[in-house]
Amino acid sequence: MAELRKDLETEERERLRLESALNVAKEAAESALAAITAGMFEPVELSRDYTGHINIMAGHGDPDYLNKSGNSIRHIDLREKPPRKKKTANYD
């Protein structure tokens, strides 16, 4: 019984030593990652484009994405200027 207790204590000390070494390695890896990412610029999200989501939901007929007449809004035109008029051929 005494021999088993001695083996158990030895194994417990070895486990604690390995656990401590693992924590030291984890902290070193985290500090290295922090040093690498410190120089990188963080992207700033100025806005989001929800047009794709709106068009998909309207296409499925979701009532939140319907216009006043009850028709689905299939496409949201995001152009700042209206499109130019098409030229028609003049065959006189």
Give the whole-angstrom CA distance, residue 89 versus residue 92: 9
| pTM, rounded to two decimals | 0.40
Q: Which of 67, 47, 43 is nearest to 55 (CA)?
A: 67
- Mean pLDDT per segment of 10 residues, for the chain of length 92 residues? 92 96 96 87 74 74 74 65 73 64
Q: Collect all residues with Cβ–Cβ distance below 8 Å to 51 and sequence separation of at least 6.
A: 76, 78
Contact status, residue 72 vs residue 65, Cβ threshold 8 Å: yes
Q: Which amino acid is at 62?
A: D
Q: Collect all residues with Cβ–Cβ distance below 8 Å to 75 and sequence separation of at least 6.
A: 55
